[in-house]
Amino acid sequence: MSTRGAGAQARVLMIGASGRMGRAIVRVAAERPDVRICGAVVSAGSADLGRDAGELAGIGRIDVPLRADLAAALAECDVAVDFSSPAAAAANLAACVAAARPLLIGTTGLGTELAADIERAARHIALLVAPNTSLGVTLLLELVKRASQALPDDFDIEIVEAHHRRKKDAPSGTALALGRAAAQGRGQNFGEVAVTDRNGARRSGDIGFAVVRGGDIVGDHTVVFAGSGEQVQLMHRATDRNVFARGALAAAAWLCGRASGQYHMRDIIL
Ligand SMILES: NC(=O)c1ccc[n+]([C@@H]2O[C@H](COP(=O)([O-])OP(=O)(O)OC[C@H]3O[C@@H](n4cnc5c(N)ncnc54)[C@H](OP(=O)(O)O)[C@@H]3O)[C@@H](O)[C@H]2O)c1
């Protein structure tokens, strides 16, 4: 549990500090009075070990060197923020439980085998797993659930997402979360209706996914409710990676001092 007092700055440990998101979070943190980057972790084989996190993020020296010793870094922070890789997620989670530090996992593409670890970890620490930390997407998830509840079942649900050419997972974690929200609204079992491999005809009740990859697209998500003679589309477009960084830091500050349990981005805005 954090020892941070009310109104104090949350000391944030950035896991994945040399990455695109890690650098954005370090930059945005410098603009916020409620958080301070106090540690920066990368993999043991990183080419950036020892470099200053602020210099790497383009904001000048902040005297936080990139290191690989996660346990030591956790001892000096109030909350950890992980935007690294699915392969590192289980070890990062276990380290936060061992250090009794709240954790925001922003990494996407997590394997289903991590679900049990996440559930167990949330008995010991405040934990928030957010495939999309944008506040706009958080609202979109609620709107999609509401729309799928309200519209008749003969409105077919399709989810279209687009991201930059370097993105590794497909469909995006956000697209899957939107699909889950839509299935939940209709009382469907997501695993039974999600179709990510489009071969052959559409079955009634399916939630279909389409993926676009290219250029520097930050992240577009559209949920289509296609009925007969009318269509409803709910869309979110991120044009700046900083929206994820701002939401992640808001969530990190919010997590400090919370009781153990699994939290969601909607807990922050609703
Ligand atoms: N939740 C959201 O809103 C949101 C938004 C955008 C992206 N994401 C997700 O966030 C993740 C990172 O995205 P990105 O674009 O920043 O990727 P990236 O540029 O490839 O950065 C990955 C970072 O993770 C570090 N890393 C790799 N293995 C590690 C380990 N074992 N321990 C500690 N650090 C390790 C890398 O450092 P070294 O290679 O230097 O070790 C690098 O700093 C992805 O899963 C992405 O899909 C989530």
The Å distance, Cα 131 to ligand 1 centre, comes to 12
Nearest CA to ligand 1 atom 8: 107
Pick from 238, 217, 216, 233: nearest CA to 135:
238
Catalytic residue among 124, 145, 164, 167: 167
Q: What is the distance between the alpha carbons of residues 252 and 80, in angstroms, rounded to a whole number?
A: 7
- CB within 6 Å of ligand 1 — which residues? 15-22, 41-43, 46, 48, 83-85, 88, 106-109, 130-133, 244
Q: Which ligand 1 atom sits nearest the alpha carbon of residue 87?
A: 31
Q: Which ligand 1 atom sits nearest the alpha carbon of residue 24?
A: 16
Strand order, beta sheet including 194-195: 194-195, 207-213, 156-163, 219-226, 231-238
Nearest CA to ligand 1 atom 2: 132
Question: 42-46: which pairs have CB atoms within 8 A and are 24 or more residues apart?
Answer: 42/16, 42/17, 42/18, 42/66, 42/67, 42/68, 42/84, 43/68, 43/84, 43/88, 44/68, 46/18
pLDDT digits (tens, 9 = 90+) for 101-150: 999 999 998 988 999 999 999 999 999 999 889 999 999 999 999 999 99
Is residue 263 a contact partner of residue 139, using CB atoms and an 8 Å limit?
A: no
The average pLDDT across 153-182 equals 95
pLDDT digits (tens, 9 = 90+) for 38-96: 999 999 999 999 999 999 999 999 999 999 999 999 999 999 999 999 999 999 999 99
Strand order, beta sheet including 261-263: 66-67, 35-41, 10-15, 79-82, 103-105, 126-129, 261-263
pLDDT digits (tens, 9 = 90+) for 241-266: 899 999 999 999 999 999 999 999 99
124 is catalytic: no
163 is catalytic: yes
Catalytic residue among 124, 145, 163, 221: 163
- At 3, the pLDDT band (50, 70, 90 cuts) reads very low
pTM reported for the whole predicted model? 0.87
**What is the reported pLDDT for 241?**
83
Which domains does the chain possess?
10-133+242-269 (3.40.50.720), 135-238 (3.30.360.10)
Contacts for 251 with CB less than 8 Å, ≥ 6 apart: 104, 128, 130, 133, 265, 268
Q: Which ligand 1 atom sits nearest the alpha carbon of residue 23?
A: 16
Label residues 146-156 b or e (16+ Cβ within 10 Å = b).
Answer: ebbeebeeebb
